[in-house]
């Protein structure tokens, strides 16, 4: 390779090797995408309420009717229950999470003995999950199209790749799935309207029990009208040093803001 001809030959061989490598990768991706379109389960986290039957090229995603240990219902029954509470009861994700936790039904992370990756100051490490239903888990389940029979392959991939839609057995009807999305949107709009109230101390008040931030909320008074309060985020966030809800009391917003203003005026 010390001569011009030798260097040319070496570069040509390297180019051919790179070309062949790219072809192999492309053929592999095409093969994977073809199997995905055919409905083959290619690994990954199995959606809650489903199981995989068959092996290798015969592996398929099907609705799980297996009874949850120590309970009389299956995971797919839990999924139907969640959608039913949204569609028929117009319940919030917070209330649904409360009800599932009260029943002692384990979420997918507990059932599968999986761990969560949490970003820490010193880097990343995996930690065990709290093993409870959180409002965010309820919402993530409800918006997943797999439950109306449409599974998207490739959306969890960290690499840019083609997203492939394939049909699987549905747990709820498409109509109920759409109604559940409408309930989520309606609940979000209600929350946004409540957030339009002015809370001068929003983000500044910390809970003395769990350390989380107090947020503004509005309640309807029994005498009529609306009253503003500051409430610990730990009552709905399911996080912090305590598992479950924080027992911190809500504080009347008008009284708290008036007290703070009086202290400011003294300075």
98 plus 221 within the same structural domain:
no
The number of beta carbons lying within 10 Å of the beta carbon of residue 253 is: 24
182 plus 143 within the same structural domain:
yes
**Per-residue pLDDT band at 161 (split at 50, 70, 90):** low
Q: Average pLDDT in the 157-174 region?
A: 81
pLDDT value of residue 213: 84
28 plus 64 within the same structural domain:
no
14 plus 96 within the same structural domain:
no
82 plus 115 within the same structural domain:
yes
157 plus 210 within the same structural domain:
no
**Would 236 be classed as within a structural domain?**
yes
The answer to whether residue 125 scores a pLDDT higher than 50 is no
The answer to whether residue 245 scores a pLDDT higher than 80 is no
Evaluate whether 250 touches 217 at the Cβ level (below 8 Å): yes
**Would 22 be classed as within a structural domain?**
yes
Q: Average pLDDT in the 169-196 region?
A: 83
Q: Is the entire prediction scored with pTM above 0.75?
A: no
Q: For residues 42 and 60, what is the distance between their CA atoms, to the nearest angstrom?
A: 9
Range of the domain at 120: 50-193
Q: Could you say which of 137, 161, 193 is where a domain stops?
A: 193
| Three-state secondary-structure class, residue 135 | helix
56 plus 186 within the same structural domain:
yes
Structural domains of the chain, count? 3
pLDDT value of residue 237: 56
pLDDT value of residue 121: 43
């Amino acid at each position: 390779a010390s001569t011009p001809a030798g260097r040319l030959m070496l570069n040509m061989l390297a180019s051919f090797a790179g070309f062949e490598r790219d072809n192999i990768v492309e053929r592999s991706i095409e093969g994977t995408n073809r199997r995905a379109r055919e409905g083959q389960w290619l690994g990954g986290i199995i959606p809650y309420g489903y199981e995989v039957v068959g092996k290798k090229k015969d592996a398929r995603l099907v609705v799980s009717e297996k009874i949850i240990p120590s309970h009389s219902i299956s995971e797919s029954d839990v999924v139907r229950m969640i959608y039913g509470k949204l569609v028929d009861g117009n319940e919030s994700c917070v209330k649904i999470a409360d009800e599932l936790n009260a029943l002692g039904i384990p979420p997918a992370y507990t059932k599968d003995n999986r761990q969560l990756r949490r970003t820490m100051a010193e880097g990343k490490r995996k930690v065990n999950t709290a093993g409870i239903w959180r409002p965010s888990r309820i919402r993530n389940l409800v918006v997943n199209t797999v439950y109306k029979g449409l599974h998207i392959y490739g959306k969890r991939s960290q690499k840019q790749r083609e997203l492939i839609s394939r049909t699987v057995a549905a747990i709820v009807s498409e109509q109920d799935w759409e109604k559940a999305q409408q309930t989520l949107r309606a609940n979000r709009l209600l929350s946004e309207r409540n957030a339009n109230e002015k809370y001068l101390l929003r983000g500044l008040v910390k809970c003395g029990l769990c350390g989380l931030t107090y947020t503004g909320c509005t309640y309807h008074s029994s005498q009529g009208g609306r009253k503003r309060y500051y409430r610990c985020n730990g009552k709905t966030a399911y996080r912090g040093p305590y598992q479950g809800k924080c027992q911190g009391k809500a504080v009347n917003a008008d009284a708290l803001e008036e007290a703070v203003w009086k202290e400011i005026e003294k300075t």
